[in-house]
Amino acid sequence: MMNSKAIDERNEKPFLAVLNGGVPERTPFWLMRQAGRYLPEYRELRTKAGSFLDLVYNPEFATEVTMQPLRRYGMDAAILFSDILVIPHALGQDLSFVQGEGPKLDPVRGEKDLSRLRYDDTVLQPVYETVRGIRNAMADEGMEETALIGFAGAPWTVATYMIEGGSSRDFIHAKGWAYSEPDSFAKLIELITEATIVYLGKQIDAGAEAVQLFDSWAGALDEDQYARWVIAPTEKIVLALHKAYPHIPVIGFPRGSGALYPVYAQQTKVHALGLDSQVPLEMAVALKDICAVQGNLDPVCLLSGGTAMEKRARDILETLGGDRFIFNLGHGVIKETPPIHVEQLTRIIRQF
Ligand code: 1CP
């Protein structure tokens, strides 16, 4: 049972109101990667922390980094500062972030490597402490209308990093394994799925008010593989969370899904769909018949700023604003983005 204070909060926070089917008093917005390298105060703390993982696992620093964009721009939601790759880390895989090169993991390449993996939730205690720290900081700083989003990578996207050993362009090893030995690949997906259910549940217990599943590489799979490795595990996570936490909305972001967005929304039963920048606004309008939508300004358009950005942001707001809509980018803020462009965008959204 939810207490009445929690119910009031759901209605008072515009971001949660949209996810719960209400009509908010303003169009809520937040930006993927709103905390990060485009902000000088982030770069300063990042240097102080040492490595990226030292920043992620330091609750005091991670809380501070989460708060930075909110203080500047007053987004309607904060997103926990962490990374999708903490799940492989908690499964026992070696993980490091090499400056300028991105993540490096000791690759898992087949059934024989699966026995090395075992989920150890204690690794993630600092993340839960960060969630509590953010809720406290938001209360202390009078952000009563701001909601906190927890997140995880979706199993397919997390699996690509675990198998490729880092970022990839063509996913030869991950897709090759899925095509050639689907039964053992399913075991890896299952392992990630179960860990993710525990991980997101604990974020919710610690104070996350909604969660987002980032499936950044969903667009790499054909229709059959998509059904098996994107839709099915996501549906399982949504169902498990919905059972344990019926009042917590789940946002799915299956980037690059194209024509498969509607079937993803229908089958996974996510409460909202994150849309990449290529999704036509008319298609986004149609998707609102299934669930709320979130998106989809091109991050490069934000980087460029000026009248082109103003025009596109207004087009998005005019076509999608009103109900069942959360303004966001189609992918994360690019590190070269001038902070003043984010300020310009904030003004456009608030004036709408
Ligand atoms: O040195 C640094 O500061 C590292 C840059 C960085 C940052 C700021 C990484 C490394 N991760 C993050 C934080 C992060 N990652 C957040 C924080 C919350 C926020 O949005 O403000 C989130 C939600 C993520 C999620 C994430 N990590 C995704 C999914 C979203 C997306 O961008 O597609 C992915 C794919 C990752 C993996 C990752 N983490 C970092 C890098 C360089 C990468 C590889 C990206 C790639 O393969 O292209």
> How many angstroms separate the alpha carbon of residue 83 from the centre of ligand 1?
6
So what's the pLDDT on residue 100?
84
Q: Which residues of 69-89 are buried (b: 16+ CB within 10 A; e: fewer)?
A: bbeebebbbbbbbbbbbbbbb
* Alpha-carbon gap, residue 11 to 330, rounded angstroms: 26
* Residue 87 Cβ contacting ligand 1 at under 6 Å: no
Arithmetic mean of pLDDT, 305-321: 98
Evaluate whether 220 touches 256 at the Cβ level (below 8 Å): yes
Residue 4: pLDDT above 60? Answer: no
293, two tokens: 């939508």
Contacts 24+ apart (CB under 8 A), 116-119: 116/92, 117/91, 117/92, 117/93, 117/188, 117/191, 118/91, 118/92, 119/90, 119/91, 119/191, 119/194, 119/195, 119/198
Residue 134 has pLDDT above 60, yes or no: yes
Annotated active-site residue 169? The verdict is: no
Model confidence at 67: pLDDT above 80 = yes
Q: Note the pLDDT of residue 6.
A: 59
How far apart (Å, rounded) are the C-alpha atoms in residues 176 and 12?
A: 48
Q: Looking at residues 83-105, what average pLDDT do you find?
A: 95
Residue type, 238: V
What's the CA gap between 56 and 59, in Å, rounded?
A: 7
| 2 confidence band (pLDDT: 50, 70, 90) | low
Q: Which of 43, 48, 83 has most ligand 1 atoms within 8 Å of CB, for mutation?
A: 83
**What residue's CA is closest to ligand 1, atom 36?**
84
Catalytic residue at 83?
Answer: yes
116: left (phi over 0), alpha (psi -120 to 50) or beta: alpha
Band of the pLDDT at 99, cuts 50, 70, 90? confident
**Residue 1's pLDDT is what?**
46
Distance CA 90, CA 209 (A): 23
204-227 pLDDT tens trace: 999 999 999 999 999 999 999 999
Give residue 12's pLDDT band: very low, low, confident or very high (50, 70, 90): confident
pLDDT tens digits for range 20-63: 999 999 999 999 999 999 999 999 999 999 999 999 999 999 99
User: Does 3 score more than 80 pLDDT?
Assistant: no
The Cα 10–Cα 147 span in angstroms is 9
CATH number of 4-351: 3.20.20.210
Domain spans of the chain?
A: 4-351
% pLDDT > 70, the chain: 97
